[in-house]
Every structure is written in C-alpha cells, then in structure tokens.
Structure 1
C-alpha cells in the first residue's frame, strides 16, 4: 500500500520504516548466539578435550545455543501470525462486515464458519441493508470453498450493496449481481489465461457459479423473494419450523442466462415474533462420522423449544450442534443469518401466511430452464 503525505510538521523527525528498523534487531540475536557457539568451539580449550566432562559441557553449550535460536524463531513466527490474523480480521470486517443488531425493527444476527483451517472468510456471502424499498437481504454460496472463492464473494457483495439501494425491483437487483459476476469471471479468466484472451472452456473459471437468495421484507412484514438455486430459508413460528416456500428455484447465477421478465415471488408475511433463518447448503450437507446429514430443522426446533429466543441464541445453538455433529471438522463453508421480527403494528397480516404459503407450494413455471 502506498501512503502519500503532504509534508512533515516542523520539530518532528520523520519516522523510519519500522519493518526495516526491526530487521537488524531480528538478526542480532541469532548472530550473537552463533558467535557464542563459534567462539566456544574454536576459542575455548575445553572444547578440544575428549573427556566425559568436556563433552557434557560442549553438548550443554550447543543445546543452549540451539534452544535460543528455536525460541527466537518461534517468537518471530508468532509475531508474523498475529499480524496475519489482524490483516485477516480487517479483510473480514470489510468483506463480510458485521451486521447491525437491528434493522428497521428486525433483530439480526449472522455468523460464518470457514472450511479452511485458520481462515476467517470463505465462499459464503450474506448482507442485510435497510433501504427505502424495505429491508433487503442476500445469502449466497460460491462454488467451492475457502480462500479461492473470496474474490467472487467480493464482486457479488459489492454489487449488492449498491444495487439494493438503487433498484426499486428485486429482479433488477439480481440482474445487476449477475452482470457483476460475469465481469469478475471474465477478468479472472483473462488473468489466468492471458495468452488465449481468457477463452479456455476447460478452465475452472468457466464452471463457476453462485447460488443466491434475495429477500425483501416490507414495513408490514410482506415477504418477496428471488431464489437462484439456493436453499429456501426456514420460518420459526413459535415451536414450528417450516420452509418459507417449496417453489422450484431458478438456476444459479453464472452458467445460464436469467429470464428477461424476472419477478419476485410473494412469500406471505413475517409476523411479529417470527424469525427467518437463512443458511448455505454446507449446514444441511454436513455429515457425521457415519455419513448422516445434519438435521438442521431439528436443531432449530431445539433452539426455540423453550420459547422465543434471540437470534444470537439461535446461532449459538445451531453452531454448537453442528460442530458436535461434525466432530469439529466441517468440510464446507457454513453461514447462517437470523432475522427476528420485533415490529408491532396494527395490521399483523393474520392469515396472510397460509394464503401465501399455499400459493408457493406449487412449482412456478420454469420455461427458462
């Protein structure tokens, strides 16, 4: 990163490069230990003797030198690891920035678990923003997992954060995301295969896709959604856990063109004290040592068994059960986002859920497939 400074105030000495200043200090201790070992070996008469006592002393000296070098290297590696974790934390806060605890009367909580050991971000994406069109939420899953998918996550999330405010219709928001993904994949293909202009049908980039769920929650709780190959979220209503819809989703973004007349699907209303749980397929596809899939609906029912709980409590309960199920070693990225309706309004839309649910249980026309 290049920093440009307008000038240096008078009376202050310019700072030297801290990294360059630390390098001689980092080399000083190993050099001193090496000098001690060489000096002892060639300058101490005891090192020339072959007796048992002399050998013990020589071994002790070289053991102390080796131990000092190992401890110095370990300290340096730990310092670099702390710096790398700080950088990763900053990157995560920019890419998957922490969601506000409340958005227009909705309590929000989200968390992600990366399949790559030590990684804090991976191939799952989520965001929730309050706009003049309602609260808009996106949950997505990039093909693959771990750090290789981070660039695609950044492209999709960056486009959503602008389009969610600019576009009045959900269909146009998805169109913006689709075009942003296409641009990102073209640029990545050109970077990986510059000689062929990025045109390589056998390249992994040509097989990239993103499953995506886009939700809009109006002020009265009305739900509208566009699902591009993603699992439908679950609705927590009291002790009941049921899918928001059973309609056939559209294809994922990437491999197939979107239909020209893309419209959102009405999904009823999110009533007061109800919750929505959005997730990526890594949650339901997680297996235990016997190959059994993780029972996500049962884990959600267990989390709310004793009555309404906070979104944070739902996340803790589900992730605890997930890690127990996978023995602490999930094989795919997992993300969960919980929205709890804390709104109180006179028109609670009673009965609207049953009507909307009945309408969405039948598959929608899929002529675009």
Structure 2
C-alpha cells in the first residue's frame, strides 16, 4: 500500500515534468535553428519560407500541447465535480416507504454538475422526512454550505422526534460552518439558506417548517395548488429561529396525489421578453409519474429560458403510491388513515 501511495506522486511529478519539458524542447529547437542553421541566416525568399514554416510548426505544436493540457485539466475537474456531486446530492431511491420519488437539478453554471440547491428524502421512524433548500449563490462556491446542511439533516432526522428539533440542528450546523469558514478565510461569510422541511406520516399527514422557501405544489388529479399560503419564516442564517417553533399541519397527501418541491429558480426563470416561467400551469398537464413530471417541467423550462437558465433549479417529486383503503375517499371527502404495514426498507437506486 505504501509503495502504491509513493508511486502516485512520482507519476504526477513525471507528468508535470513532461508537460513543462515539451514546450521547452520546442522552444529550444526554434532558437537553435535560428541561431545556428545557415539557412536561417539567409535573406532569400526560400530561406524565409523555410524559417516561417519551422516557427509555424513550433507554434502549432505549442498550441496543440496547451489545448490538450487544458482539456485534460477540464476532464479532471469534471471528474472531481462528479465525485463531489455523488456524495453531496446522492441519487435518491425510486421509492421511500411507499412514496415514489424522483429528483433532478439543473445548474446555472455551464458545464457544472453542482449548484447551490440541495434536497434529500429519508424514511425514519417518525415518517418520511424531506428537505429542499437553496444556498445563496450557485456553483462550486456554495458546495461547502450545502454539504454542512445536508450532513446535519441526514443525522438529525433519525434523532429528533419533532421537525422543530431537526430545524434547530440545521441552524446550528450552518452557523458553525459559517463561523469556521470566517476564521479560516479571515472574512465574514454573509450567506443564508432558504429551507423547507417536510414530514409525511404513514397516514399521509403532512407537517412542514418553511424558512423563506417556496411552498411545494400539491397535484391531485387536475388540481394544482400550493401546499400552504402561510408566510414562511426568514431564511436560515441572518436571523435566529423563534423560541416557539412548531411544525405547520398541511393536511394529508392521499394515495395517488403528488407533491412537487422546487427552488425559486423554477418560477423565477424568464424568457427573452422578461416573462416568468408558469410552473403551476405546466404542472396541470405534467403526467402521472414523478419521472414524467420532471421531464415535462425541465423540457418546458429550458424551452422558456432559451436553454440558459439564470439560476440553479432543483425539483423533487413525491407521489403517494400506498394502497387506497376502502374507507378513503377523494380529496375533500371523509377518509381514514392508510393501514398498510410500515416498511423500513430504504431501496437503493436512482429516482430520476
């Protein structure tokens, strides 16, 4: 193992030497030709043509070499970004405790795979708990903040019996991250995170805590409406959380219904005429499955924005595919909770 580790730096050093050596050799050849070759000292047309050809070949070689080096660095950067993406925003399982799940992110940075948006859905003994957030800014600059919030969420959802406890843990994690970054960089990090916490009980009962984030849309047949119209709390970071913090009850997610969580980049996207993207209208005919909803929304969004959105966009769709009990009715009628046995299996796979 130590031999392998020692060999890696040697390979990297050899590659750097070759990278610097080839341009040096080409430059030395050009200078040597100009100073020592008799043909290069002549002023005739033929001699000038040959000299120009030599320097053109050397220049072309240098350009090709630099281009290949830049492409190699770009490939390595994309590999690193992809690895970070897989750790930060892990592919969600296709199903979480009877809920079909699909999620995707679109970064505003061309060629980037990481943006400032974050999401996660986890099955716990307290219910399926979901987070959707948006870090101020986008691209690689926001990855540290998103990682701090997501890491705290993945641990807190299993430990805290109430959503309020989860949110307080996330608030402390964000404050600690910003404080450590300020101490390390010597600058005050003025950063905040809009955040939506959602808990879906086994009976479909919904509880939420919203810190400055857009409310998700509820899809029930042809009905598309916001889950709540209550004003959210301020984003995490600039202001302390209120002392009296309790989850807002938002009704039930019935079998067959879906929730579409999104970041503000979806509804804030504009076309060439400055018109906002009509997310709610697109959702009216977005399809039955979460995957179809994602495809329909992202296709319409890219068409609306001309293929270049100005902000990161993340979507997370959850559909209640638990069995409908005989005593349950449509939305707005009397119904009882589902009684299917609780599943503790966290399926692995990509929900997109």
Sort the TM-score into its range (normalised by shorter chain): 0.7 to 0.9
Alpha-carbon separation, structure 2, partners of 1:316 and 1:255: 35
Structure 1 residue 237 and structure 2 residue 237: aligned? Answer: no
Q: Which one of the candidate residues 126, 132, 136 is aligned to 1:139?
A: 132
The answer for the alignment partner of 2:110 in structure 1 is 117
Structure 1 residue 80 and structure 2 residue 59: aligned? Answer: no
Map 1:52-131 onto structure 2 (within 5 A): 52-131=45-124
Change in 2 beyond 3 A, CA 1:355/1:81: farther
Alpha-carbon separation, structure 2, partners of 1:106 and 1:277: 13
The answer for the alignment partner of 2:16 in structure 1 is 23
Alpha-carbon separation, structure 2, partners of 1:224 and 1:349: 20
CA contact (8 A) 1:268 1:353 kept: no
Change in 2 beyond 3 A, CA 1:168/1:62: same
The answer for the alignment partner of 2:296 in structure 1 is 317
- List alignment gaps of at least 5 residues for structure 1: 195-202, 357-369
- List alignment gaps of at least 5 residues for structure 2: 336-352
Larger relative CO (CA 8 A, sep 6+): 1 or 2? 2
Structure 1 residue 227 and structure 2 residue 206: aligned? Answer: no
CA contact (8 A) 2:178 2:189 kept: no
Alpha-carbon separation, structure 1, partners of 2:239 and 2:333: 33
Q: How much has 1:232 moved relative to structure 2?
A: 0.8
Change in 2 beyond 3 A, CA 1:14/1:300: same
The answer for the alignment partner of 1:303 in structure 2 is 286
CA contact (8 A) 2:328 2:334 kept: no
**TM-score by structure 1 length?**
0.84
Map 1:30-45 onto structure 2 (within 5 A): 30-45=23-38
The answer for the alignment partner of 2:261 in structure 1 is 278
Change in 2 beyond 3 A, CA 1:190/1:318: same
Change in 2 beyond 3 A, CA 1:138/1:347: farther
CA contact (8 A) 1:142 1:209 kept: yes
Structure 1 residue 333 and structure 2 residue 312: aligned? Answer: yes
CA contact (8 A) 2:94 2:100 kept: yes
Change in 2 beyond 3 A, CA 1:15/1:331: same
Alpha-carbon separation, structure 2, partners of 1:76 and 1:252: 43
The 10-residue stretch of structure 1 (99-108 or 342-351) with the greater mean CA deviation from structure 2: 342-351
Alpha-carbon separation, structure 2, partners of 1:277 and 1:116: 24
Q: Across the two proteins, how many residue pairs are aligned to each other?
A: 334
**TM-score by structure 2 length?**
0.87
Change in 2 beyond 3 A, CA 1:262/1:350: farther
Alpha-carbon separation, structure 2, partners of 1:247 and 1:143: 23
The answer for the alignment partner of 2:147 in structure 1 is 154
Q: How much has 1:291 moved relative to structure 2?
A: 1.1
Q: How much has 1:351 moved relative to structure 2?
A: 5.1
Change in 2 beyond 3 A, CA 1:189/1:25: closer
Structure 1 residue 171 and structure 2 residue 164: aligned? Answer: yes
CA contact (8 A) 2:254 2:331 kept: no
Classify the secondary structure of the residue corresponding to 1:97.
coil
Alpha-carbon separation, structure 2, partners of 1:52 and 1:224: 85
CA contact (8 A) 2:128 2:199 kept: yes
